[in-house]
Structure 1
Amino acid sequence: MDASASAIGLEVLREGGNAADAAVATAAALGVTEPYSAGIGGGGYFVYFDAATGEVTTIDGRETAPATMPTDAFIDPATGRPYPFANAVSSGLSVGVPGTLATWEAALDRFGTESLRDILEPSVLLATKGFTVDQTFRQQTLDNKARFAAFPDTAELFLPDGDAPQVGSVFKNLDLAATLRTIALKGTDEFYAGPMADEIADLVQEPRKDPASPLPAPPGFMTADDIAAYEVLEQAPTHVEYRGLDVYGMAPSSSGGTTVGESLNILENYDLSADDIGQSLHLYLEATAHAFADRNAYVGDPAFVDVPTETLLSQDFADARACEIDPAQASTRPVPAGDLEAAGCAAVALDEREDTENVSTTHLSVVDQWGNAVAYTLTIEQTGGSGMTLPGRGFLLNNELTDFSFSPSETDPNTVEPGKRPRSSMSPTIVLEDGAARFVVGSPGGSTIITTVVQILMNRIDLGMTLPEAVAAPRAAQRNTVNTTAEPEFIAAYAGDLAPFGQPLVPSGDQFTSAAQIGAAAAIEVDSSGLMTAAAEPVRRGGGTGLVVEPAG
């Protein structure tokens, strides 16, 4: 996580704010320093543990589809086939009604001690003074140069003089500073029911595109009424027990809590150890493959789909799935989804569907002096979201609706429907031990978020790694695909151990780019004495920052 944002959150804690206050302040700052991953043009999921009551509560701030969006919205009328993903992303069609500001307001009202006005002040100052551009920011800008250039407002902000900002230069966003200042003074109604709502709807319906750009940028369906009608959802978390610990996560519309929970429940059937790392990693890959089969078949927005959340989180169901796993041999993938009615190892085959969820997201973890904890994952989806910057406002709009399945199907729980939340893999997770926060963890990474969280917990709980080691360790992501996507370092370290099990590994990307990196976690551990360890990525995405108020030693 960005150092400037971490420092702002830490200062809130130092001045007596609680975990919710610090989380919102940090998230607001991330919208300044990581504008391609987070910001008020997107959404996310907020998990809060109240140490005084022992209660875990979640806020679903996921974006929603407009009220007039048809189920075939991603079918190109000119061809009768789904839009190519690249065409759908950079468009008004991809933009969901943003939920981030509503999440901040709800979190502070429900759990915080500070006002949104005060919490936004440091980010207004940060956007005004600017931050120092690093190689990651410059490279992300260059990677998106063609589509940013297609939208004049985005090009003006992020491609001054036609080039990405230079490393070491100071990037200021005065439009965003003014936007945050306006919201701080006038409240979130300025966004959801005021001039900004009209501006967002106008841009979505008529994308401001350079006529010379080859991008088609199809228009979307969002109206100001859609924005005014947006509401976050407060709901109970998912819950499983793993090795005597209580693991809480995000219920649908996110698939994170159910799929992390099911994966851990499957692994509960086995003794995992660093002494037999090949066996342990084989079982990890098999567990996530089976859990992803069930995710793809059954999880969607529960307001539209009958999601069998209780079954997916039950140990009995996981046990039935585990008995389909051969401890000595990789399964033939894609594996079929589990039969929800079966007591044994029966299964029903379902079609594998393309995963369009993207990797550019950000996560923050917070624990305060009272033991309250927050796991908060927020995003605008693709790196740079839709590519469209709201004119004069300084923030990018999301492309979250590309998380829907492009081809409508009566059997697909993630088909587009008006007002529906697209399925997500964001997995903010809080683990309790004896009623107190033990681990807080989450990550960006599209659908690899789920496998990242599972692998970190397995590394720490089962394989004997310290938390920093568990976060830094090389990763692989098996999401019910024929091959397992793996970082080059994972292949180098473990391909030989996994070879006897027939686990096929493929590189996750060019080893010299961030495409080779799976996730970018931020995690906290609290030991029995109350000592906190904050761990961030040492390398991925240029490295993150983990800070504590009173460093020990």
Structure 2
Amino acid sequence: MTTRFRRRHPATAAIAGTCAVGLALALVTPTQAAPRGPDKEATATGHGGAVAALDPYGAQAGLEILRRGGNAVDAAVAASAALGVTRPYDGSIGGGGFMVIYSADTGEVTTIDSRETAPAAMEPDVFIDPDTGSPIPFQERRVSGLSVGVPGLVRGWEQALTDHGTMPLHRVLQPAIRLAQGGFVVDDEHQRRTENNRDIFHDFTSSRETFLVDGEAPEAGTVIRNRDLARTYRLLARHGATVFYEGEIAEAIADAVTNPPVVPGSSRNVRPGEMEVADLADYEVIEREPTATSYRGFEIYGMGPPSSGGSTVGEALNILEGFDLDELPHEEALHLLIESSALAFADRNAYLGDPSFIDIPLRGLLSDEFAAERRTLIGADASTKPLAAGDPWPYDDGTPGAAPADPATARTDGSTTHLTVADGAGNVVSYTFTIEQIGGSGITVPGYGFLLNNELTDFEPDPDHPANAPAGGKRPRSSMSPTIVLDADGAPVAAFGSPGGARIITAVLQVAVNHLDLGMSLPEAIAAPRLSNLNGPSTGTEPELIDSPVGAALTARGHQLSALTGIGNVTGVAFLPDGRLQAAAEPVRNGGGSAVVLHPDN
């Protein structure tokens, strides 16, 4: 049975079973105001625990679990599941992610890699059109079974809860189950994202039935629900991850990939993939060592390969450590930020990929000696980009490695979702997860209410790319950058991350510099105007910065600034010196995020 999202008139929009803690929607009559979602604030300060997410439903779901005695990991999984209902186009059980965890008991940081993997049958030339010998156009790669990687999120939830949580999966899924069954109020951002994907969703029977209302995007202010997803979450609560990777959900995923549910008569060329149930059954989560970078007395922990986030943020910070940014004019600090980012991206594009398939000079990339070498390339004026990759191998183990790949500009599209949680005991989770594009592959698993990712488009289509070529069982390179900052004594200072494709890295880097170098509070660091250079000739710059005296000064240095709105969508938590927690989200970008604390200040 396939049950679509249903739009209901406000007069009948009683949501009796929706999440507790402020998620219930009142019954209204035609003379009353339309239903509204929970209140949303960008900053919250207090004690006992904190959650920052892109959406108030997700933040409240995490807060509910904290209130019921769960720890930061329990709350992070609950918030993730809720965001799969209300932000289904950014991250869901049809995708994967990276979780960085700080344990207050041990003082250690670890990471959980639930990144998607390519099906075993995937060939290196999968994205080359056999008729032309050229790469298949990106949109055709994206909207296809070819692009779908084996989802890892559910296995990641399971391992995080087993190894680091205090609650079982069936308990932390309850807020999301009630939310999917009872419904939520559509906001402008959900409507906009649905409209942007309407033509794609319209070409798949399951996506049309699940996410469109009479063929259109649901309107902001209306209430919609996803009973299919509620049923899927109940299956997970009852049977655990086994039903997703070996049972009926696995069979439905494999069938949707190999036989995409295209609407009869559609002119869209949807290429099938080759995923089998065995690919899902064989999927493994990997608990990895984090990347670690010492920066001005802080320890910056991030996600290692196959993510390029931790190493690229870390390398750029190492380069910047040679400059006293807090003593410089703001335009000069931003000039150095641009140049260090371009250098780090040149190396990222050349060397990063799946460590199970290639040798990565991670130690060299994060060494102070390599950073010092790269720093000498920064002058007073803008460099000509793209810059060539450096050679980190001498600073790794001294053994020459593979020749670097093309260091050109990284692909900038794609989206994700990020949430940050801290509990009263001092445990911290920085969690980024995704289905890649906004809307993923566009293919909804019939009867189960969730979209499948297009994560395999993160591979380079060139089968000879040395670091990031497609291969069966391989994890594509990612830009996700969940980050945790500790002080010299090993106590948490802040944690944050962002969606935004390859620009995730530059958003996280700039927030780190704003907060640790420039003296901004975390809310100020998040709200400040951003720019982003991915080793290309142009630096994407938000309008309030590009039109300022600082923007003029950067242009005078030779930087080509191009207007770009909404770089990243950061959420984070700061640990204040007086023992309070401060949750922070975007106040404006992408409609703003939601920050909550368990015991807020009066």
Q: What is the TM-score with the length of structure 2 in the denominator?
A: 0.88
Change (3 A) 1:221 1:355: farther
Q: Alignment partner for residue 558 of structure 2, among 488, 493, 502?
A: 502
| 1:544 counterpart = 2:563 | no
Letter in 2 for 1:153: S
Aligned equivalents of 1:498 and 1:90: distance in 2?
39
Which residue, 148, 151, 154 being the options, matches 1:95?
Answer: 148
Alignment: residue pair count: 540
| Candidates 437, 449, 460, aligned match of 2:492 | 437
* Partners of 1:357 and 1:381 within 8 A in 2: no
Aligned to 1:520: 569
Q: Is the 8 A contact 2:386 2:409 kept in 1?
A: no
Q: Determine the C-alpha separation between the residues in 1 that align with 2:254 and 2:153.
A: 17
CA RMSD of aligned residues (A): 1.3
> Which residue of structure 2 lines up, in the alignment, with residue 332 of structure 1?
384
Question: In the TM superposition, what is the alpha-carbon distance from 1:15 to its structure 2 partner?
Answer: 1.9
Task: Tell me what 2:40 maps to.
Answer: none
Given that 2:459 and 2:468 are in contact with CA atoms closer than 8 Å, whether structure 1 keeps it comes out as: yes
Aligned pair partner of 2:223 in 151, 170, 183: 170
Q: Secondary structure at the match of 2:214?
A: helix
Instruction: Please give the per-residue CA displacement for 1:195-252, whole angstroms capped at 9, x wherever unaligned.
Output: 1111111111111112433321111111110010000100110000111000000010
Task: Find the counterpart in structure 1 of residue 534 from structure 2.
Answer: 479
Counterparts of 1:146-185 in structure 2, within 5 Å, are: 146-185=199-238
Tell me the CA shift for residue 38 of structure 1: 1.1
Alignment partner of 1:464 is 2:513: no
1:403 to 458, 470, 477: 458
Contact 1:96–1:400 at 8 Å: present in 2 too? Answer: yes
Q: 1:120 to 1:371 in 2, by over 3 A?
A: same
Q: Distance in 2 between matches of 1:170 and 1:483?
A: 42
2:346/2:408 contact within 8 Å kept: no
* CA–CA separation in structure 1 for the residues paired with 2:409 and 2:139: 14
Query: What SS is found at the alignment partner of 1:160?
Result: coil
In structure 1, the residue matched to 2:472 is 418
Q: Are 2:167 and 1:114 equivalent residues in the alignment?
A: yes
What are the equivalent positions in structure 2 for 1:328-407 lying under 5 Å apart?
Answer: 328-341=380-393, 351-353=406-408, 355-356=410-411, 358-407=413-462
Distance in 1 of aligned mates of 2:557 and 2:516: 23
What is the CA distance between 1:354 and its match in structure 2? 6.0
1:304 aligns with 2:357: yes
Residue 122 of structure 2 aligns to a residue whose secondary structure is coil
TM-superposition CA deviations, 1:293-312 (whole Å, max 9, x none): 00000000000010111111
Query: Which residue of the other structure, out of 58, 79, 87, is the alignment partner of 1:5?
Result: 58
Q: Distance in 2 between matches of 1:350 and 1:286?
A: 20
| Structure 2 counterparts to residues 69-84 of structure 1, below 5 A | 69-84=122-137
Is 1:236 paired with 2:289? yes
The question of whether the paired residues in 2 share the 8 Å contact of 1:357 and 1:402 is answered with no
How far the C-alpha of 1:341 sits from its partner, in A, is 4.4
Secondary structure of 1:546 counterpart? strand
Taking the aligned partners of 2:289 and 2:210, their CA distance within structure 1 comes to 40
Are the structure 2 counterparts of residues 333 and 170 from structure 1 closer, same or farther at C-alpha, using a change threshold of 3 Å?
same
2:271, 2:500 → 1: CA distance? Answer: 26
Per-residue CA shift, 1:335-368, capped at 9, x if unaligned?
A: 010122467xxxx985244634633210000111
1:408-431 deviations in Å (ceiling 9; x for gaps): 11x530000110000000000000
3-state SS of paired residue (1:10): helix
Aligned to 1:47: 100
Assess, with a 3 A threshold, how the Cα gap between structure 1 residues 20 and 301 changes in structure 2: closer, same or farther.
same
Moved more, 65-74 or 492-501: 492-501
TM-score w.r.t. length of structure 1: 0.96
Aligned-partner Cα distance in 2 for 1:531–1:295: 37
**Does the CA contact (< 8 Å) of 2:350 and 2:389 recur in 1?**
yes
The answer to whether the 8 A contact 1:336-1:349 is kept is no
The 2-side partners of 1:479 and 1:93 are apart by 27
What secondary structure is seen at the aligned counterpart in 1 of 2:593?
Answer: coil
Within 5 Å, give how 1:311-326 maps onto structure 2: 311-326=364-379
1:513 aligned partner: none
Distance 1:7 1:29 in 2: 9
Partners of 2:545 and 2:123 lie apart in 1 by 42
* Counterpart Cα distance in 2 of 1:339 and 1:267: 19
Structure 1: distance between partners of 2:322 and 2:556: 21
Identity %: 52
Tell me, yes or no, if structure 1 residue 530 matches structure 2 residue 579. yes
1:104 & 1:342 partners in 2: Cα distance? 38
Q: Distance in 2 between matches of 1:363 and 1:438?
A: 18
Higher relative CO (CA 8 A, sep ≥ 6), structure 1 or 2? 2
